[in-house]
Amino acid sequence: MKRKLKWKLKWLRLSPPQFLVAGFSAIILTGAFLLMLPIASESGEGLGFMDALFTATSATCVTGLVVVDTETFFSTFGEIVIMCMIQVGGLGFMTMATLIALVLKRRISLKDRLILQEAMNQTAMEGIVRLIRRVLLYSLYIEGVAVIIYTARWAFDMPLGKAAYFAVFHAISLFNNAGFDLFGDFRSLTGYVSDPFVNLTSLFLIISGGIGFIVMSEIVDYKTRRKLSLHSKVVLSMTGALIVIGTVIIFIFEFTNVKTLGALGWDGKLWGSLFQSVTPRTAGANTLNIPDLRQATQFFIIILMFIGASPGSAGGGIKTTTFTIMIGAVISMIRGRDDIVLFRHRLAQERIFKALTVSLLALLFIVAVAMVLSTTEDASFLAILFETASAFSTVGLSMGLTPELSLLGKVLITVTMFAGRVGLLTLVFALGPKKGKELYRYPEGKMIIG
């Protein structure tokens, strides 16, 4: 009894970052165990531990990279397990725990609120439970609408029951920016490259799931409040800019490529360019075959994946706000200004340091993993870099390397997906020593730069 109480007290003493790392790890291990069961596969043989762990990590971290084809290998039970992990991983396990607590009318403690604040990447605890309620409500509403549209469209291609099942799976997968699909042979949505219904519904799911729940909440309240926060303005403007720029660049690069846009009509070219501009922002679905893209397009997609989605969403990457701050720092330096000003607001130095830290850590992590993989895998460096960036940014787009990974390659990509979803800073705070107060400051020094 004493041991049990001691373990419980130790668990309660975990910091919010440590709690998040432990929680995600527990979900992944549980999912891996379920995917190893014979009932989870069509053949009844089950999945090996490493492949099960890889798939569970990919689903919980809403990535979408797969070592086996989801539709042909897994049974309905296995697919439902993956779908549940996507939903829990996308919304966050603390969000789901809060839902259960609210249903049971349990009080949300201060520690719970601190963990929720860390999980939702918020700067304050104020209104965090109200935000969680909205997250759940908006998620169910958006996914529900998408299920109806998908079901109506796919009922023309398959039996109604199967169409409804496909609709639920893909609505959850795309809203949570996961990228898992049930169309088989690693095809994703390539069969619907020119279909306006599938494209519009999928794009709406990806973008709404990627802008973040804070932004979504402010958009809904805009009619009454008539204003947006600086965060929402930055997210919406940068998201729009990246979509437009990405669409134009992909359209230009792939216009004459007969393996991608070159073989399509004008509507297919436009839909394909738009979809492939949006999906690298951590969605993982694709309507163009990634290995058939030109190298310039593939490298450009790596850049889009590195930027990723927005804070407080299911997406990964360094985030649109971080990228905006970095661009703002460059512009301010060129103009000779001391402050970064966005929408008539000056940014605190702490935000700038954090953006720089996040960007540099992410870049160094991706480069380090890619360098190691280049010695263990028999593939081009571009393919390895693409897969690494896709894993870290929890995107799920693949050039076909993932199913061919060695055991060490699978371990590295699994760790990369986990680090990308939880966040490198969260991992550092969780595993590193507690921050102490500085008792003194060193004298200021000067050094030459550039």
Contacts of 122 by beta carbon, 8 Å cutoff, 6+ apart: 116, 128, 131, 214, 312
User: Quick one: pLDDT at residue 9?
Assistant: 40
pLDDT, tens digit (0-9, with 9 covering 90-100), for 292-351: 999 999 999 999 999 998 887 778 889 999 999 999 989 988 888 888 888 888 888 888
Residue with tokens 């929720």: 116
Q: How many CA atoms lie within 13 A of 125 on its CB side?
A: 10
What's the CA gap between 438 and 450, in Å, rounded? Answer: 30
Between 91 and 34, the higher pLDDT residue: 34
Give me the percent of the chain exceeding a pLDDT of 70.
Answer: 83
User: Quick one: pLDDT at residue 8?
Assistant: 45
* Cα distance between the two ends of the chain: 63
User: At residue 415, what is the residue type?
Assistant: V
Smallest CA-to-CA distance from 370 within 349, 352, 387, 393 is with 387
4's tokens? 């049990």
* CA 28 vs CA 228, 243, 361, 414, 441: distances in Å: 36, 32, 24, 11, 43
User: Quick one: pLDDT at residue 81?
Assistant: 94
The length of the chain in residues reads 450
Task: Decide if pLDDT at 138 tops 90.
Answer: no
What's the CA gap between 232 and 427, in Å, rounded? Answer: 26
Contacts of 334 by beta carbon, 8 Å cutoff, 6+ apart: none
What's the CA gap between 446 and 124, in Å, rounded? Answer: 36
Mean pLDDT, all residues of the chain: 84
3-state helix, strand, coil in the chain (%, to 5): 65, 0, 30
DSSP 169-214: HHHHHHHTT----SSSTT-TTGGGTT-HHHHHHHHHHHHHHHS-HH
Task: Decide if pLDDT at 442 tops 50.
Answer: yes
What's the CA gap between 158 and 145, in Å, rounded? Answer: 20
What's the CA gap between 309 and 215, in Å, rounded? Answer: 12
pLDDT, tens digit (0-9, with 9 covering 90-100), for 265-290: 999 999 999 999 999 977 888 999 99
User: Quick one: pLDDT at residue 408?
Assistant: 94
Per DSSP, what are the bridge partners of residue 346? 341
- CB 424, CB 360: distance < 8 Å: no
Which range (117-126, 306-315, 378-387, 395-404) has the least confidence?
Answer: 117-126
- The packing angle between helices 93-103 and 128-154, to 10°, is 100
User: Quick one: pLDDT at residue 50?
Assistant: 94
Task: Decide if pLDDT at 259 tops 50.
Answer: yes
pLDDT grade for 108, boundaries at 50, 70 and 90: low
| Chain center to CA of 427 | 17
Q: In 10 A of CB 419, how many CB atoms?
A: 21
